[in-house]
Structure 1
Amino acid sequence: MTKYKKLGLSLLLDACGYISFVFPPFDFVWAPLSAWIMTKLYKGKQGKIAAVISFVEEALPWLDVIPTFTLMWLYTYVFKPKP
Structure 2
Amino acid sequence: MTEQVQIKVASDKKQKQLVLSILFDVIGMTTYALPFIGEFADIAWAPISGFILARMYKGTVGTVGGIISFLEELFPFTDILPTFTLTWIYTYYFSKENK
What TM-score results when the alignment is normalised by the length of structure 2?
0.78
1:36 aligns with 2:70: no
1:49 aligns with 2:64: yes
Residue 96 of structure 2: SS of its match in structure 1?
coil
Runs (5+) with no aligned partner, structure 2: 1-11
In angstroms, what is the RMSD of aligned CA positions?
1.4
Describe how 1:1-83 pairs up with structure 2 within 5 A: 2-23=13-34, 24=38, 25-82=40-97
Q: How many residues align?
A: 83
Larger relative contact order (Cα-Cα within 8 Å, sequence gap ≥ 6) = 1
Residue 90 of structure 2: SS of its match in structure 1?
helix
Where in structure 1 do 4 or more consecutive aligned residues deviate above 4 Å?
A: none
Higher Cα Rg, which structure: 2
Give how far 1:21 is off.
1.0
For the 8 Å contact 1:19–1:26, the answer to whether it is kept is: no
Distance 2:15 2:92 in 1: 10
What TM-score results when the alignment is normalised by the length of structure 1?
0.92
Residue 62 of structure 1: SS of its match in structure 2?
coil
Q: Which moved further from structure 2: 21-30 or 10-19?
A: 21-30
Which string of whole-angstrom CA distances, capped at 9 and with x for unpartnered residues, describes residues 12-69 of structure 1? 0000011221231210111000000011101111111111100010111110000000
Runs (5+) with no aligned partner, structure 1: none
* Higher helix fraction (1 or 2): 2
